[in-house]
Amino acid sequence: MDQALLTEVFTRLADGFVTTLEIFALTLLIALPLGLIMSFGSMSKFLPLKYAVRFLVWVVRGSPLMIQLILVFYGPGLLGQWALDLVANGNTNAVIIWLSNIGVMERFVAVIIAFSVNYACYFSEIYRGGIESIPKGQYEAGQVLGMTKTQVFFKVVLMQVVKRIIPPMSNEIITLVKDTSLARVIAVYELIWAGETFIKLKGIIWPLIATAIFYLAFSGLLTFVFGKIEKKLDYYKT
Amino acid sequence: MSVLEVKDLKKSFGKTDVLKGVSFNLEKGEVLSIIGSSGSGKTTILRCINQLETPDSGFISVGGEVFFDGNLEKENTKERRRKQLLVGLVFQDFHLFPQYNVLKNVTLAAELLAKERADYKQNKKAIHDEIIEKAKAILGKVGLSEKLTNYPCELSGGQKQRVSIARALMLEPEVLFFDEPTSALDPELTGEILKVIKSLAEENMTMVIVTHEMSFAKAVSSKVIFMDNGVIEEEGTPEEVFDNPKSQRTKEFISKFSD
Ligand SMILES: Nc1ncnc2c1ncn2[C@@H]1O[C@H](COP(=O)(O)OP(=O)(O)O)[C@@H](O)[C@H]1O
Ligand SMILES: [Mg+2]
C-alpha cells in the first residue's frame, strides 16, 4: 500500500474523528444539566411550565433527529431571508427588521443545538423517572430529621436517583455515539463521511471498516465504564 | 405545662373527615399509647403533629411552641425546621437511607445541622468527633454496636427499626412518636423493638406510640387513647381502658385483640 494514500486516509479519518468526539462531548456537556433542569420543569407544580416542557419532549422524542438537524440549520436562515424580503418591500415593523438580521446558521453550532436539545429531552425523561421512583418516605424521613428540601435532594435522594438511572443513561449515551454520524445531513464532516469518501474517491472500502471498528471500540469502552460505575454503586440495594 | 397539647384537631382528605376533633395533653416523661382499628386516624394524628400534614383546624403545641393554631399564614422554613427538631418520628417501615451505612444514617442529620453552627469552621473536627461518639453511644444502647458499617439492606427488620429509633434519638426530641413500630416486622422480631421502647420509657422519654401490641401498651404506658372513626372514643390509664372499658366499642376492640 502506498504511503501517500495511507497518510491521506489517516488525516481524513482523524479530522472526522475529532468532529465526532466534539459533537459527542459538547452534547453531553450541555444535555446532561439541561435535561435535569427540564425534568424539574416537567415535574413543576406550575402547570403551564409543566405542559410546555412535556409538549417539547413529546415533539422532540416523537420526530426524527435528522429532521430536527435540518430545521435547526436551515430554519433561522430561511426566516431571516423571509424577513429581509419583507423589509425590501418596505415593511418597517421592528420585529421584522430584527429578524432580517438573522444570517445562515453555523453548521457545527446547528449540530450542537439540535443534538443537545434532542438528548436533553431523552435525559429529562430518564431523570424524571428516577426522581419519581424514590419513595415519598425518603423525603418525609429527611424532613422529620430537620433537613431542608435542598439537603433532602442532595444528601438523600440524588445518590439513589443516580443508581437507578445509570443503566438507561448508559444506553442513551451509547446511542449518542452512533447518532453523531447524522451530523452529515447538514454537511458536517464527521467520521463516517470521512470513511465513505475513500469509496467514492479511490474505490477502497477499508477506511469505512476502520470507522466501524472505532465505533465498536468507543461504545465498548463506554459499556465498560458504565459497568464499573454500576458495580461501584452495587454496595447497597434499595 | 404540658409538653404536648392537641386541641380539637380536625383533618379531612377531600370528602373524608379523618380527624373530627381530637384533643389530648401529655406531660413530660409520660408515655401515651394510641390504639384503634385501621383507618381510625392514628397515623394522621402523628403526621399532623410532625408537620407532614397541615391540619384543617385546631391547635397543636410541643414544648411550649405553637406548631399550629389554625392560622394558615405561611411560616418561614427556618421556624418550621427549628420546631421540627422538637419532635421525632419513627415510621412503620423505617425509611432508612439505603445508600448510607448504619452510623451515617444516624449522624447525617446532626452533621448537616452542625454545619449551621457559628463555631463550625473553627471546631469542625471536635464537632464531628462528638457527633460520631454520640451516635455510637446511642447505637450501643439499641444493641447495634456490631453493625455500624453495615448497610440497611444487610439488616433484619428489627435491626432496621432500631437504627431508625437511634436516628430519631440522635436529635434529642422533646417527644418521640412511633407509628406502629412493629407492624412491618416478623412476630419473632417485635420483642427486640418493644424492649428498646421500654428502656426509653424507663429513662422518662416522653413518647406517643401507635400500636396494636395490647399487652405492651398496657405495660409501658401511663395513658391510653382508643381512637375510633376520627374521634377519641375512650381515654384513661391503662387499667381503666383495658380492664374496665366504659364504651361498648372499646370493649369490642379490646376483646378482639386479647387472646
Ligand atoms: N393522604 C391521604 N389522602 C387521602 N386519604 C387519606 C390520606 N391519608 C390517610 N387517608 C385516609 O384517612 C383515614 C385514616 O388514615 P390513618 O390516619 O392512616 O389511619 P390509621 O393509622 O388509624 O390506620 C383512612 O381512611 C385513610 O384512607
Ligand atoms: Mg396507621
Could you please report the per-residue DSSP string of A34-103? HHHHHHHHHT-SSHHHHHHHHHHHHHHHHS-HHHHHHHHHHHHHHHHHHHHHHHHTT---HHHHHHTT--
Backbone angles phi, psi at B35, to 5 degrees: -120, 170
pTM for the model? 0.87
Name the band, by pLDDT with cuts 50, 70 and 90, for residue A186. confident
How far is ligand 2, taken at its centre, from the CA of residue A122, in Å? 39
Q: Which CATH class is domain A3-235?
A: mainly alpha
Under 8 Å CB pairs connecting chains A and B tally to 58
- The percentage of chain A sitting over the pLDDT mark of 90, rounded to a whole number, equals 65
Integer Cα distance of B149 and B160 in angstroms: 13
Amino acid B117: pLDDT = 87
**CB < 8 Å to A156, chain B:** 97
Chain A residues with CB under 8 Å of a chain B CB are 135, 137-138, 140-148, 151, 155-156, 159-160, 163, 235-238
pLDDT higher for A189 or B247? B247
Strand partners, B177: B89, B208
Sequence-distant (≥ 6) Cβ neighbours of residue B183 within 8 angstroms: B92, B212
pLDDT by residue for chain B (259 residues), tens only, comes to: 799 999 999 999 999 999 999 999 999 999 999 999 999 999 999 999 999 999 999 999 999 999 999 876 677 788 889 999 999 999 999 999 999 999 999 999 999 999 998 899 999 999 999 999 999 999 999 999 999 999 999 999 999 999 999 999 999 999 999 999 999 888 888 999 999 999 999 999 999 999 999 999 999 999 999 999 999 999 999 999 999 999 999 999 988 876 5
Name the band, by pLDDT with cuts 50, 70 and 90, for residue A9. confident
CA atoms within 13 A on the CB side of B97: 28
- List the single residue in B52, B88, B153 with the smallest CB-CB distance to A237: B153
Integer Cα distance of B65 and B68 in angstroms: 9
Please give the grid coordinates belonging to residue B178.
Answer: 412511633
Give pLDDT tens digits for A20-52. Answer: 999 999 999 999 999 999 999 999 999 999 999
How far is ligand 2, taken at its centre, from the CA of residue B164, in Å? 17
- List the single residue in A138, A146, A236 with the smallest CB-CB distance to B109: A146
Burial A122-154 (b: 16+ CB within 10 A, else e): bbbbbbbebbeebeeebbbbbbbbbbbeebbbe
Strand partners, B62: B4, B65
Q: How many CB atoms lie within 10 A of CB A17?
A: 17
Q: How is chain A split into domains, by residue range? A: 3-235
